[in-house]
Amino acid sequence: MPMRERQIKFQKALNRIYERLNSIRLLQAVKGSLVMIIPVIMVGAFTIVLRSLPVPVYQTWLHSFADGAIDTFFGYIHQATFGILSLYMVVSLAFCYASKVQEMSGNYMGTIISSILAFFIFSGIFNEGADVLNLLGANGLFTAIISTLFANTLYFWLNKKIRIDIRIYTSGTDDVYFHMLRYILPILIIGVAATSLNLVFYALFGVHNFQDLYILGLSSLFQWAGRNFGSTLLYVFMVHFLWFFGIHGGNVLDSVWGGILDPGVELNAAAVAAGNMPTVIYSKAFLDIFVIMGGCGSTLCLLAAIFLFERKRGMRKLARFAAVPSLFNINELLLFGVPIVYNPIMLIPFFLTPIVNLLISTAAMKLGLVPVVAQPVEWTTPIFLGGYYATGSIAGSILQGVNLCVGVMIYRPFVRLMHRENARNSRARIGKLVELLQESEDTRVPVKLLEQEGDAGVVAKMLCDDLEGEVKSGRPCMYFQPQYNNENQCIGAEALLRWNHPVYGMVYPPLVIKLLEETELLTKAEMVILETVLKEMDRIKETYQDGVKISVNVTGVTVQMDEYEDFLRKMAERYPEHTSNIMIEITEQASLQIDEAFVARLTRVKEMGYRLAIDDFGMGNTSVKYLRSNVFDMIKLDGSLIQDIESNERSQGIVRNMVNMAQEFRIDILAEFVETKEQQELLEELDCHLYQGYLYSPAVPLEKFLE
């Protein structure tokens, strides 16, 4: 099988795995709950950064200023975030389980209360001698996940099996009261079940709760292995395995592994104090500083790879946003933003990079090229600074640099592969957006693309982000659809915005306009389009002479803005020789107020030298008011009239009447959507002599229009 075919087959297999993982709603709930507590994690992590920055002058000031008040202040924030992280996890997971797995909306208190109850029982928080702060913090995170999933699964099962219908009607009761009455029996059963399981754990294993059982199991595994390369490799693998499924591997395992690794630095420090050579390689600081730089998966390497090799605007914007936290080894923004969690494409580099870093760092220290870690360094210490402080040598910083470069090269092909897969998937999702928009156009039911849930909404937001950069660049992609008279002479063109996306190709034009509207960029885009046409007018006149007219679309909202009128005046002053060649074509006339103020505004625009046209002109009351205003130079017939003009006599009659009105008011009239010679000939019989449509040409780039 050729290499290319194998690559395609491999990519399809990865995509199927990705889709299956993301279709498992239980995993979606765990992932969603971690995303929800990212603000808590980041706030807590930055308080650690601010408290532990290894700069002697700063540390002296921090602990001496106002008797350490600032350090105490940060300590309160740390305890309110990381100190009760497991409790945040219980609440967020209960909410996500109810909304994603059970697709429940409304009152979530039953699931949240039952989850907190189960967590308190499973964690043993009220047992005699229990370390409450330790259990509520990151060390209780795995128990928080298990107890919440247990409580929610049982809660919803009980709700299906046991129908509780308590009807107590008094003047003081409401819906909340009835809900709370229904919660009593399920919560009682969950409490009894969780307590019974703890009794089973004690009878079988001699531990009083699930938290102790889980620590006992992991302790047995790692203590049997000891502190060596094999156990360290196993720890690194398990941390990343848990993280890949959205579980904070470091926090889950640190309650056990910390007791094995933490003494490593202390033993080395004691050896140095005694005048001996430190020899213990593996420690918590060793892993934080040299193996998982930037957080699990050595995501600082991924961040650098994105900056170097990713061209997609959205991904680079994410990288810029995540850069500062990543320097302090806070990587949740990358883990869930790229994403890495549940993403099989990133699975290989996510596991491979820290393992390679472990091998390189172990070899460097065994060979004596880099001193072992003999100083405790907080996990939030930035790269290079951490390597120097941990080893007391510049060699530590150099080792970090080597690991960073190797990691970037490992991530590089997968960043490119992810780019191609995202592009392929996004093209399909853009198709769904187009379907939604076309359905809205057919049914005339408004749709908000940015408010769509799931993939459609994500892609809409991603396109808007790219589109914003396109508009702000001031270099839009312009196409021109020629306009002809009945003597087959090109008299002008309509300037149309087109978006040839660098990844997804040509985007459906109405979708572009819709996204511009929803992001409130349409007015800016309309200004950029007009200015672009004026800049190109010299070249257009060289081909089509001074009488050529270029139509530029302007929405009804924009044309009524003082800002747009000021812009037109500015352009007229800058390009006075070209304003008479610009036909401002007003769309969405149904939304306009045809009053004296509006007519006065259009009169001022005409006095600047511009010409005015009405788009999609029909027989409605609003359209007739346009003619009475006496400020328009052209009307463009509603395309729906032209499309069936050959078969529909009523359409012919309407066109005939509008032509007569236009002639009476001495206004030019142009038919759009002219696609056949028969349509053109019939329009000519009806005295309509200006045409635009596929019979003559589709919209084409400027260079082709000038040919």
Higher pLDDT, 267 or 538: 538
**With 90 as the cut, is the pLDDT of residue 678 above it?**
yes
**Average pLDDT value for residue range 568-593:** 85
Name the pLDDT band for 234 (thresholds 50, 70, 90).
confident
| Structure-model confidence comparison of residues 292 and 176, the more confident one | 292
**DSSP strands (E only) in 440-476:** none
| pTM for this prediction | 0.62
Helix H or strand E segment including 246 = none
**Both structure tokens of 95:** 């909410």
Express as a percent the part of the chain with pLDDT over 70: 86
Q: At 442, is the pLDDT very low, low, confident or very high (cuts 50, 70, 90)?
A: confident
- The tokens of 256 are what? 């056990």
Instruction: State residue 36's pLDDT score.
Output: 85
| pLDDT band at residue 65 using 50, 70 and 90 as cut-offs | confident
User: pLDDT value at position 82?
Assistant: 83
Residue 29: closest CA among 134, 120, 153, 125:
153
The pLDDT assigned to 149 comes to 92
- CA distance linking residue 295 with residue 317, whole number of Å: 19
pLDDT of residue 674: 94
Reference 587, options 654, 519, 651, 638; nearest CA is 638
Give, in order, the Cα–Cα distances in Å from 511 to each of 222, 444, 489.
56, 15, 32
Find the helix packing angle between 210-225 and 141-161, rounded to 10°. 140
- The pLDDT, as a whole number, for residue 122 is 93
- What average pLDDT does the segment 247-258 reach? 66
Tell me: pLDDT of 150 over 90: yes
Q: Can you tell me whether residue 610 is helix, strand or coil?
A: coil
**Does the pLDDT value for residue 377 go beyond 80?**
yes
The band of 261, judged by pLDDT with boundaries at 50, 70 and 90, is: low
Q: What is the mean pLDDT of the chain?
A: 84
